[in-house]
Structure 1
Amino acid sequence: MLTAERDADPTMRAVVDWRALPAAQQPEWPDEGHLQRVTKELAELPPLVFAAESRDLTGALARVAEGRAFLLQAGDCAESFTSFSAESVRRRLQVILQMAVVLTYSSGVPTVKIGRIAGQFAKPRSSGFETVDGVTLPSFRGHIVNDDAFTETARRPDPQRLLQAYHQSASTLNLLRSLTRGGFSDLNQVHSWTQDFVTATPQGQQYRALADEIGRALRFMTACGVDTASLPTLHRTDFFTSHEALLLPYEEALTRADPMSGDLYATSAHMIWIGERTRQLEGAHVAYFASVANPIGCKVGPTATADEVLELCERLNPDRIPGRLTLISRMGAAGIEDGLRPLLAAVRDAEHPVVWACDPMHGHTFTSDSGHKTRRVDDILDEIAGFFRAHEAEGTWAGGVHVELTSDDVTECLGGSHEILDSDLDARYETVCDPRLNGRQSLDLAFRVAEALRARSAA
């Protein structure tokens, strides 16, 4: 938590208001003094991101809210301490860049790229405890809190993990900045972004054809006298980070006052979001998010009413700043149209300038016959299709998708054009929490979303 000196700073008082409110999904730390010592150390470390970068993202998301761009927010369900490497970061960026190229080239609108990366460690749980073979232990809440091994020692919340999450996030951000500002994100490299196991698939062949078209377009521009080497947008890209800001002591310790504007910013990521389980109007998370100037998101599930969503808009974006607030629907394929349309109409009529994005993942998690948590790709694609139909019916802009994925050849979600069966899940089921789309499935999703965007533009 903040030290007494920071509590005395008038610019920081707003951020501590959450302490007096109920905070859902917080671990039971066994040693409060240890937590305070760690958060004090975090408060003295450099910010992970800077206020100007977050303001740039707000501007980019404002264009999404106006229907002039599309949001791709994607990445791991939960980042891992044990599988972290430079290569894993590079591969995750690869698949997101691939998807963004498909969306931009096929739809004709810019794609704002935000990763669930460099901070996506904490996970909400439906129960605080888990029972296996008659033994009950605290639930795994992400590597920032405890370990996934089912032992008493592993499941004990450890504040020291907050520091490990900070340092891994810093390393990840350094690499992402290098890759996106260097030659890796150059449009001339579009062919090299394909993972080996995707290359020979229908999705890989479709992507290769698109990459060939981009190459011909770049050569045509050069032949016409355009100096493509001098156009930075062809050789570098803007890439932002985000995570669910679940652990409020961690977020508060990394909150800084911007010396230029005096506004408070969460410096743990460019964008943070509130989950479906923590969006209580009188809860600590809404209060904390209202105090920072970052672009923020809020998940909206099937129980959300129009009045609740309007009140969230008023509390989280009272000044109605375009790009400040992204509402992320997670309704399930069966309920997306009927559940979302009243919310779209209410927010539209109240003239709140929000970005609407679709999380098609969390409404479809179930346990298969083999005992694995999984999702069906067809359900995911059906929810996205329903999201677009709901927006078309209400005359609003279907602004983005929010998906959990990996570039690796995992077998975690059922179906897809290279069909994964229940019997295949054991082969490469590697997630530490929820099932993710693999590289093939992610690319397939990108092409399907691009088709929906093209159809909407042609209407």
Structure 2
Amino acid sequence: MTDLSTAATPTDNPTVLTVSGPAEYPGLDEWRNLPISQQPTWADPDVYAASIKELGSVPPLVFAGEVDVLRERLAQAAQGKAFLLQGGDCAETFEAATADRISARVKTILQMAVVLTYGASLPVIKMGRMAGQFAKPRSSNDETRDGVTLPAYRGDIVNGYEFTPESRRHDASRMLRAYHTSASTLNLIRAFTQGGFADLRAVHTWNRGFTANPAHARYETLAKDIDRAIKFMASCGADFDALKTVEFFASHEALLLDYERALTRIDSRTGLPYDTSGHFLWIGERTRGLDQAHVDFLSRVRNPIGVKLGPTTSAEDALALIDKLDPNREPGRLTFITRMGAKNIREKLPDLVEKVTSSGARVLWVTDPMHGNTVTSPNGYKTRNFDDVMDEVRGFFEVHRDQGTFPGGLHVEMTGDDVAECLGGADPIDQEAFLTGYESVCDPRLNHKQSLEMAFLVAGALAHSR
């Protein structure tokens, strides 16, 4: 057992207590012997052991069959036959896991998906950064305010946002609360998406309300085109009962490996390990070291895997990650989520796409236009400019058009609420709005209107890429 007094740093091995999860499989615990970053230093070993034991016995949050369906859907997207829309909070909080806020996020993703489906003339895979996005990487272990230094906030699954010693303590019992909050969130998502809430006609009606705003009048033509298409389907006797439900998948960054390992189960059908904390898991820019713990662990589970690639990523890095995470070149297995920044996307992405494509690998290319465009507003708020975000999206589409490859998806930090965290948009947010409308505990998110505006703009780009 590791000495609990050892302080973890973003580049050193933190405290990792060895408590076996329920799924025994060759190599599944090899990550414990490798360099690991961005992990907590749990305060109480007994609480840790009890929490891991309980997580090892609880029901899975998602099921292997659902994961396999998603892999098939992503394989279609990698072949240019579908498009991935992935959106949700930067960092979920326990407090915000209410029915109203969950439904608002789901509603916004469904609204965006209708517009994108029409623009792309393709199925849209709907995926939330939801029901598990509770852990966040940090650039520093500590935070100092007014001369007081405490551990940094690492997400509700580790510690609290309130700046007090008790709140910032790394409490392993929070993993159990994250599990139960994820379970209730998934329960609501399934009810919404299978119980008529997702009816295509209702979702489109919501979008008509958006375009009625004079600020969004330029999108009214597309909205009317969709309206005519739905009326045409109805007049042809389309089975709208089949359009009342949708598939909706859950995803998060697999950052906290204690949690991910404890929720890994062996599928009785195949005898293979699945991380049942979510359908789709991704590895962040800070933890994608080829010979480090996160890449090793996720290389051994059957879930579809994403990797965030920033502007320093070389083609050799990308090819090595493919060899490690997708050695069998399995369709739908691996997604590259590029987060280059608007000023870098057109310069940095082409070489990656060209060399990965030349290698014969068929990965799904997705853009994350949020993380590379973070700035600080003059009045001190962490923010993003909507124009920069959209410029990166445009650059992503331009690169793939020039390379003859498919721009397969969009990964955004967004909310269904009318917050004020990102500057700009057709119905613009300015920095003064941050004083009353800024709610994020970590990174700024597009609000409901900005998210829908993005969908209309991307739909136009998709239409031209077909």
Give TM-score scaled by structure 2 length.
0.93
Q: Percent identity?
A: 52
Cα distance in 1 between the residues matched to 2:223 and 2:58:
42
1:60 aligns with 2:73: yes
Cα distance in 1 between the residues matched to 2:103 and 2:217:
22
Structure 2 counterpart of 1:275, which letter? G
1:447 is aligned, of 449, 456, 460, to 456
2:141 is aligned, of 90, 115, 128, to 128
The answer as to whether partners of 1:203 and 1:443 remain within 8 angstroms in 2 is no
Cα distance in 2 between the residues matched to 1:107 and 1:350:
27
The answer as to whether partners of 1:94 and 1:194 remain within 8 angstroms in 2 is no
1:168 aligns with 2:181: yes
Cα distance in 1 between the residues matched to 2:394 and 2:319:
25
1:157 aligns with 2:166: no
Partner of 2:107: 94
Cα distance in 2 between the residues matched to 1:78 and 1:5:
26
Q: How far did residue 214 of structure 1 move?
A: 4.1
1:117 aligns with 2:147: no
Farther off after superposition, 53-62 or 419-428: 419-428
Per-residue deviation, residues 334-379 of structure 1 (Å, max 9, x unmatched): 1111111111011100111100001110111122121111110111
1:22 is aligned, of 14, 35, 51, to 35
Cα distance in 2 between the residues matched to 1:222 and 1:363:
43
Query: 1:217 is paired with a residue of what secondary structure?
Result: helix
Farther off after superposition, 183-192 or 252-261: 183-192
1:314 is aligned, of 316, 323, 337, to 323
Structure 2 counterpart of 1:314, which letter? D
Give TM-score scaled by structure 1 length.
0.94
1:223 is aligned, of 226, 230, 235, to 235
Partner of 2:12: none
Partner of 2:191: 178
1:105 aligns with 2:118: yes
Query: 1:184 is paired with a residue of what secondary structure?
Result: coil
Q: How far did residue 211 of structure 1 move?
A: 5.3
Q: How far did residue 263 of structure 1 move?
A: 1.1
Q: How far did residue 252 of structure 1 move?
A: 0.3
- Judging changes above 3 Å, is the alpha-carbon distance between structure 1 residues 106 and 155 closer, same or farther for their aligned structure 2 residues? same
Query: 1:103 is paired with a residue of what secondary structure?
Result: helix
Structure 2 counterpart of 1:148, which letter? Y
Alignment of 1:397-412 (within 5 A): 397-412=406-421
Partner of 2:9: none
- Count how many residue pairs are aligned between Structure 1 and Structure 2: 450
Q: How far did residue 4 of structure 1 move?
A: 5.2
Per-residue deviation, residues 152-203 of structure 1 (Å, max 9, x unmatched): 111111111100110010001011111111111111212454597x564346
Partner of 2:6: none
- Judging changes above 3 Å, is the alpha-carbon distance between structure 1 residues 3 and 141 closer, same or farther for their aligned structure 2 residues? closer
Q: How far did residue 396 of structure 1 move?
A: 1.1
Cα distance in 2 between the residues matched to 1:128 and 1:241:
28
Q: How far did residue 272 of structure 1 move?
A: 0.4
Per-residue deviation, residues 433-454 of structure 1 (Å, max 9, x unmatched): 1100001111111111111111
1:346 aligns with 2:355: yes
Farther off after superposition, 100-109 or 243-252: 100-109
The answer as to whether partners of 1:299 and 1:329 remain within 8 angstroms in 2 is yes
Query: 1:265 is paired with a residue of what secondary structure?
Result: strand
Structure 1 runs not aligned, ≥5 long: none
Q: How far did residue 278 of structure 1 move?
A: 0.3
Q: Which has the higher helix share?
A: 1
Cα distance in 1 between the residues matched to 2:228 and 2:378:
48
Q: How far did residue 212 of structure 1 move?
A: 5.1
